[in-house]
Amino acid sequence: MKIHGPLRWARRLQSIQGIVAGVFAILLGLSVHEYAHARAARAQGDFTAEELGRLTLNPLAHIDPFGTIIVPLLLLISSGGRVGFGWAKPVPINPFNFRSPRRGIIIVSLAGPASNIALAIVAAIILRLAGFALTGGLGSSLFFILETIILLNLYLAFFNLIPIPPLDGSGVLSAILPPEYARKYERMGRYGIFILIGLIALGGIHLLVGGPAFYLFKLLTGRIG
């Protein structure tokens, strides 16, 4: 069984096959991510997302064409697979409906990244079990798609755990801070997108996200070389 290394995977991502695999993995990952947020919110007592049709795995309910497809692919291709950034339509929640608002915010915030890690683990299990059979032609393509699902979902999970508004990590940090500091921190949200763009430009995202994602990718796939 031959596992593609990060550099080899990144080069293949720049092919037509890679673009198709990338689009599929991004749509799948973001749909699962947003569905997990909506499901967790419902479990905490808030039915806002469900009432607005967001408690679904249908990607059409979650995608933002520019933020979900165009921006991530342009960044992944231009950076050789090392940098990715994108977004789906945020799932609407009302924390006042949660049985325990602060606990609910933490659970809902973590649900998205946790779902992406779970999806990566499932794809890795399938890859490990079927890897020896997935050789040549269609098998090789399916193998690459599984790799892409694993890596992009890990990237999506770690990226969203960064505690910068509006990412999921900021919801967790805001919920555990004392109220006075939480309010000050939340006001930083207006600058969050600019901080993220700065991190991307300076290579900080690769250190914070790419490193952990590739490391876990190795563990899950048993990558050699």
Residues counted in the chain: 225
44 Rama sector, left if φ>0, alpha if ψ -120 to 50, beta otherwise: alpha
Distances (CA, A) of 180 to 2, 109, 165, 185, 195: 53, 20, 17, 9, 22
| Cα torsion through 158, 117, 111, 74, rounded to 10 | 50
* 50 annotated active-site: no
Burial of 9-41, coded b for 16+ CB within 10 Å and e otherwise, reads bbebbeeeebeebbeebbbbbbbbbbbbbbbbb
Pair of tokens at residue 35: 């569905």
How far does Cα 121 stand from its chain's mean position?
Answer: 13
In 3D space, the residue among 114, 121, 113 whose CA is nearest the CA of residue 146 turns out to be 121
Q: Angle between the 6-13 and 137-160 helix axes, to the nearest 10 degrees?
A: 100
Q: Angle between the 179-187 and 168-176 helix axes, to the nearest 10 degrees?
A: 150
Q: Hey, which residues are catalytic here?
A: 34
